[in-house]
Amino acid sequence: SSKVLLRPRTSEEVSHILRHCHERNLAVNPQGGNTGMVGGSVPVFDEIILSTARMNQVLSFHSVSGILVCQAGCVLEELSRYVEERDFIMPLDLGAKGSCHIGGNVATNAGGLRFLRYGSLHGTVLGLEVVLADGTILDCLTSLRKDNTGYDLKQLFIGSEGTLGVITAVSILCPPKPRAVNVAFLGCPGFAEVLQTFSTCKGMLGEILSAFEFMDVVCMQLVGRHLHLASPVQESPFYVLIETSGSNAGHDAEKLGSFLEHALGSGLVTDGTMATDQTKVKMLWALRERITEALSRDGYVYKYDLSLPLEQLYDIVTDVRARLGPRAKHVVGYGHLGDGNLHLNVTAEAFSPSLLGALEPHVYEWTARQQGSVSAEHGVGFRKRDVLGYSKPPEALQLMQQLKALLDPKGILNPYKMLPSQA
Ligand SMILES: O=C(O)CC[C@@H](O)C(=O)O
Ligand SMILES: [Zn+2]
């Protein structure tokens, strides 16, 4: 029901907008590419939408350090192209790269496909400029690798989902572009073999391993049915996508080759294919990256983004499949295995409260019993705010409420998001 959408170009304009809204108690919903999975960027009632779409300028790039400073509304894929032309890459990559904004990525602390190698945005973001609820511009846009001068305030805004301030500019450390990238797409006979492949792979590939993703056979069937992407290997219960990135093509190919020989020889892997040329690399990645899209064409999707101990990671998928039986169209498990991050998705013809009742709180209770996280990389937004208690103690939730009250006493920033409705 929003009636107003504002599209500022500068931090000063954001500051004027927030000062105005703060004085008049007007609620504001910051919005980047609007690709989030938990409704964090969608207004609940008639909030004023503050879009970062026109704040899309690169401010500086240093070719020795690889430090990029840009406005919050730069589209991730455009930044990737910009730094790749200069022989660097962005430290994060995700399926929504064509539309998501870097400011939104930082605000949700998005994980994605390069996390295994380059780590979280809490490490790669070096500085932020943030406009606070009352319009104050907080300039923490430094480009220093090391800086121990007091509390590291920028960390508070990484993953705060627009509830504590509006991120207007980002300083981020970009790694050098790897000279050699190889992708192997393999079929595994069981989940135990997927885990064993991961251990072997870490041992044998070491520092060149840059991604370890997995998907189950149902994901592959759906990608085939809805997107017409053909499987490059024989049908198997599980598939893994392994990427290596290094500086010496010959060295990397040799390492990957001996790993594959071992994996095939010992029965961990039953079939596989490899790619070094860009087109085939992209084709193999598409099988994994486009699962979300295939699922959305399958029906209504119940989505869970869990961190779980590796040994138990797939048990919840098997459990939910048995629990729901024919009530679900499909129950799938895929995700960033190397990061202990499972995407459990369930599709059905339409939304049904009874199916939701069979899934929740069951999935959350299961996750809590494993000391897992009910939101690994998608954030909390509107959808998951009442389940934070499964992963955080009451004392932590109370401190979060206190921080919110300190930074946004009038509660104008992204209301009804992230924090539980009655804490
Ligand atoms: O749709 C999902 O649940 C996961 C989306 C994304 O995080 C992915 O890894 O593909
Ligand atoms: Zn993911």
Q: How far from each other are the two terminal CA atoms of the chain, in whole angstroms?
A: 27
Centre of ligand 2 to C-alpha 336, Å, is 6
Q: Is the pTM of this model over 0.95?
A: yes
341: Cβ below 6 Å to ligand 1? no
Tell me if 337 sits within 8 A of 194, measured CB to CB. Answer: yes
- What is the rounded average pLDDT of the residues 37-51? 98
387-394 average pLDDT score:
97
- Three-state DSSP class for 79? helix
Residue percentage of the chain with pLDDT more than 70 = 100
Q: Is the beta carbon of 95 within 6 A of some atom in ligand 1?
A: yes
Q: What percentage of the chain reaches a pLDDT higher than 90?
A: 99
pLDDT at 421: 85
Mean pLDDT of the chain: 97
Q: Which atom of ligand 1 lies at the shortest distance from residue 303's CA?
A: 3
User: Per-residue pLDDT for 87 more than 90?
Assistant: yes
Report the separation in Å between the CA atom of 66 and the middle of ligand 1, taken as the mean of its atom positions: 28
In short, whether 54's Cβ falls inside 6 Å of ligand 1 is no
DSSP summary character for residue 311 = G
Q: What is the pLDDT of residues 273-296, one digit of tens each?
A: 999 999 999 999 999 999 999 999
Q: What is the pLDDT of residues 114-168, one digit of tens each?
A: 999 999 999 999 999 999 999 999 999 999 999 999 999 999 999 999 999 999 9
Phi then psi for residue 168, to 5 deg, are -115, -20
CB of 290 sitting under 6 A from ligand 1: no
Angle made by CA atoms 242, 244, 246, in degrees to the nearest 5:
175
Q: What is the C-alpha to C-alpha distance for residues 94 and 16, in angstroms, rounded to an integer?
A: 33
Residue 80 Cβ inside 6 Å of ligand 1? The answer reads no
- How far does residue 292's CA lie from ligand 1's centre (Å)? 6
Ligand 1 atom closest to the Cα of residue 292 is 1
Tokens of 345: 């998705």
pLDDT in tens, 291-334: 999 999 999 999 999 999 999 999 999 999 999 999 999 999 99
**Cα(223) to centroid(ligand 2), Å:** 16
What are the C-alpha distances in Å from 184 to residues 88, 92, 239?
23, 20, 10
Burial class (CB in 10 A: 0-12, 13-18, 19+), 45: exposed
- Residue of the CA atom closest to atom 9 of ligand 1: 335
Give the residue, out of 94, 227, 290, 384, with the most ligand 1 atoms within 8 A of its beta carbon, to mutate for a pocket test: 94
Q: Which domains does the chain have, with CATH numbers?
A: 5-173 (3.30.465.10), 180-293 (3.30.70.2190), 299-378 (3.30.70.2740)
Ligand in closest contact with the CA of 303: 1
User: Which tens digit of pLDDT belongs to each residue from 248-277?
Assistant: 989 999 999 999 999 999 999 999 999 999
Per residue in 18-30, pLDDT (tens digit) is 999 999 999 999 9
The CB of 347 under 6 Å from ligand 1? The reply is no
Peptide bond before 361: cis, by omega within 30 degrees of 0? Answer: yes
The response to whether residue 71 sits with its C-beta less than 6 Å from ligand 1 reads: no
The pLDDT assigned to 140 comes to 98
Say if CB 31 and CB 100 are below 8 A apart.
no
How is residue 130 annotated by DSSP? E
Mean pLDDT of 35-54: 98
Quote the CA–CA distance of 75 and 98 in Å, as a whole number. Answer: 7
List C-alpha distances in Å: 294 to 170, 187, 220, 372.
Answer: 32, 20, 9, 27
